[in-house]
Structure 1
Amino acid sequence: MCIAKILLSLLFNPVKVWKSTKCKKKKKRINYQFLCCFESVIIEFAIVRIVISFQNHHFKRRSEVINARAVRARSLSRYRSAMASCAVQLIEKVTRKKVEKQKFETHILKGPYMKHPLQNRWGLWFYKNDKSKMWQDNLRLITKFDTAEDFWALYNNIQPPSKLSSGCDYSMFKDGIEPMWEDRSNKCGGRWLITLAKQHRHTELDHFWLETLLCLIGEGFGSFSRDICGSVINIRAKGDKIAIWTSNAENCETVTYIGKKYKESLGLPQKLVIGYQAHADTATKSNSITKNKFVV
Structure 2
Amino acid sequence: MTALPASFQHANKAAIAAALAENTESIGADVEPGEIQEVDMQAQADDIRTVFSHPTSFNVKHPLYSPWTLWFDSPATKGRNLPQTPVSSFPQTPVPQTPSAAAAQGWMEDIKRVVSFDSVEEFWGLYNHIVPPSQLPQKANYYLFKEGIIPAWEDEANKNGGKWSIQLPKEKNRSQVDKMWLYTMLAAIGETFDPHLTSGEASEPNSQSLITGVIVSTRPQFYRLSIWTRLAPSGDEDKLRERIETVGRHFKINVLGYPETQKLAGPLATEVEFLSHKDSEKKGKAAKKLVI
| Structure 1 CA distance for aligned equivalents of residues 277 and 252 of structure 2 | 20
Match of 1:123 in 2: 69
The answer on 1:268 being equivalent to 2:251 is: no
Decide whether the 8 Å contact of 1:224 with 1:258 is kept in 2: no
Cα deviation, residue 218, structure 1 = 1.2
The 5-angstrom pairing of residues 249-288 of structure 1 reads 249-250=232-233, 251-265=240-254, 266-269=256-259, 270-272=261-263, 273-285=271-283
Check conservation: 2:167, 2:225, Cα contact below 8 A.
yes
Q: Does 1:140 align with 2:140?
A: no
Gaps of 5+ in 1: 1-91
User: Could you list the per-position Cα deviations for residues 63-105 of structure 1 after superposition, in whole angstroms to 9, with x for gaps in the alignment?
Assistant: xxxxxxxxxxxxxxxxxxxxxxxxxxxxx9xxx898623x764
Pairwise CA RMSD: 2.6
| Higher Rg of the two aligned structures | 1
* CA–CA separation in structure 1 for the residues paired with 2:230 and 2:182: 22
Residue in 2 that maps onto 1:240: 223
Per-residue CA distance 1:14-59 (angstroms, 9 max, x = gap): xxxxxxxxxxxxxxxxxxxxxxxxxxxxxxxxxxxxxxxxxxxxxx
Q: By how many angstroms is 1:107 displaced?
A: 6.0
CA distance in 1, matches of 2:289, 2:243: 13
* Cα gap change, 1:182 to 1:201, in 2 (>3 Å): same
* Superposed displacement of residue 109, structure 1: 2.4
Contact 1:275 1:292 in 2 (8 A): no
Alpha-carbon distance change, 201 to 164 in structure 1, aligned in 2, over 3 angstroms: farther
Tell me the amino acid that sits aligned with residue 283 of structure 2: K
Query: Given the alignment of the two structures, is residue 100 of structure 1 paired with residue 98 of structure 2, yes or no?
Result: no
For 1:242, the aligned partner's letter is L
Are 2:76 and 1:114 aligned? no
Say yes or no: does 1:195 pair with 2:134: no
Instruction: Give the alignment of 1:40-51 within 5 angstroms.
Output: none
Q: Secondary structure at the match of 1:100?
A: coil
**Equivalent position of 1:294 in the other structure:** 290
Give yes or no for contact 1:122–1:173 (8 Å, CA) kept in 2: yes
Q: TM-score, normalised by structure 2?
A: 0.62
For residue 223 of structure 1, report the CA deviation from its aligned partner.
3.2
Instruction: Give 1:283 shift.
Output: 1.9
Match of 1:186 in 2: 158
Matched AA of 1:247? R
Indicate if the aligned counterparts of 1:188 and 1:279 stay in contact, CA closer than 8 A: yes
Could you say if the C-alpha distance between residues 202 and 144 of structure 1 is closer, same or farther in structure 2, counting changes exceeding 3 Å?
same
Determine helix, strand or coil for the equivalent of 2:191.
coil
Aligned 1:21-36 pairs, distance under 5 A = none
Counterpart AA for 1:100: V
2: CA distance between counterparts of 1:192 and 1:222? 13
How high is the TM-score relative to the length of structure 1? 0.61
The count of aligned residue pairs is 199
* Alpha-carbon distance, 1:137 to partner: 1.1
Distance 2:221 2:287 in 1: 19
Distance 1:286 1:277, change over 3 A: closer
**Higher RCO (C-alpha under 8 Å, 6+ residues apart):** 2
Deviation at residue 224 of structure 1 after TM alignment: 3.2
Instruction: Output aligned runs, 1:52-67, within 5 Å.
Output: none
Identity among equivalent pairs (%): 34
Q: Distance in 1 between matches of 2:139 and 2:221?
A: 11
Report how far residue 115 of structure 1 moved. 1.1
Matches within 5 A, 1:156-175: 156-175=128-147
